[in-house]
Copies of this chain bind each other. A is one copy, B any other.
Amino acid sequence: MEDKVVVNKKVVLKHYIPDGPATESDMELVATDTLLLRLPPGSTAVLVKNLYLSCDPYMRSRMTKHDEPSYVDDFVPGTPITGYGVCKVLDSGHPDFKIGDYVWGVTGWEEYSLITSTEGLFKINHTNVPLSYYTGILGMPGFTAYVGFYEISSPKKGERVFVSAASGAVGQLVGQFAKLMGCYVVGSAGSDEKVNLLKNKFGFDEAFNYKKEPDLNKALRRCFPEGIDIYFENVGGAMLEAVLQNMRLNARIAACGMISQYNLERPEGVSHLFTIIAKRIRMQGFVVFDHYRSYREFEEKVVQYIKEGKIVYVEDIAEGLENAPAALVGLFAGRNVGKQLVVVARE
């Protein structure tokens, strides 16, 4: 592979976009840059071949220019989108990574990436599970489910758990973790196919298609006649408002995401917040980035669950970098069934 120069196809953000939906045409595939597949002498970077790229909802926010720093950096128009991915190390100036290693972490939406910020990179310890799992169940979304459920929501056996966007990358795992703990678990999702997955593949006790429910409050009351102890919040807006009206005393809300708001010009108002007082609710926001010090503990536990067949995972795989923009945009229309990822190369 020495001295090989390649054309490095990439997906770049064409321009910042205002609030509102992003579209495929806000990104473009360019194939003009070339790259020498070897690090310059003395570099401490890692040169990787990107195999799987992850499409994640938070990436939408990075496409908008923020006057004040947001919780994630804005993208830079004209340069490749960055995000999580699974990669193979082609060359390394960093002692933690060797040629031939598989790693996951922050990389570029391109065929090859020169990664200089290696703090965001984890060596993959288990290669006897699908490598793509490190974009999902064993990567950022999986770890999000783990932190949010076990650490933020303070679950107890027998509690009643509701998960929104329940068939997605994070939600399908939250539900399975909750079942493993002996909770009663209900999920909502945006199609009958997804509802079917929830009940028949992920073992949720109940599930409903929120798009077919004229009254979310009633749907929740039907599924939780005695109320909800834990809400794993992925969508926000009207769903949060309905959930608030169905909470039990001392309930917790693990505030993970509010995807229904990411594409709005002005976020919706949520009422019934007084319930937080009347029902002594703890609503706690968290961001997975703060918790990576316990990533390895999570990885071992979940690899074990996978091997024992205690947990399953559904992926939605787009083929080829050229299909990445559509895959990303599709998250906001619920086109993905399970974890949305993009295959750049399989090896």
Interface residues of A (CB under 8 A from B): 70-71, 236, 240-241, 255-258, 261, 266-287, 290
Contact = CB atoms under 8 A, between A and B. Distances in A.
A285 B290 contact: no
Number of copies: 2
A267 B273 contact: yes
A258 B274 contact: yes
A70 B271 contact: no
A42 to B, nearest CB: 36
30 contacts: A71-B277, A71-B279, A236-B273, A236-B274, A255-B276, A255-B277, A257-B277, A258-B273, A258-B277, A261-B274, A266-B271, A267-B271, A267-B272, A267-B274, A268-B269, A269-B269, A269-B271, A270-B273, A275-B285, A276-B283, A277-B286, A278-B285, A280-B286, A280-B287, A280-B290, A281-B284, A281-B285, A282-B284, A282-B285, A283-B283
A11 to B, nearest CB: 25
Contacts of A241: 269
Given A271-B268, A272-B267, A283 B282 contact: yes
A255 to B, nearest CB: 5
Nearest to A271: B267
Contacts of A290: 280
Contacts of A287: 277-278, 280
A258 B277 CA distance: 9
Given A280-B285, A285-B280, A271 B270 contact: yes
A290 B267 CA distance: 34
A282 B271 CA distance: 18
A261 B287 CA distance: 31
A276 B236 CA distance: 11
A268 B269 CA distance: 8
Contact of A273 (B240, B282, B284): B240
Contacts of A284: 276, 280-283
A275 B284 CA distance: 11
A283 B290 CA distance: 18
A237 B278 CA distance: 16
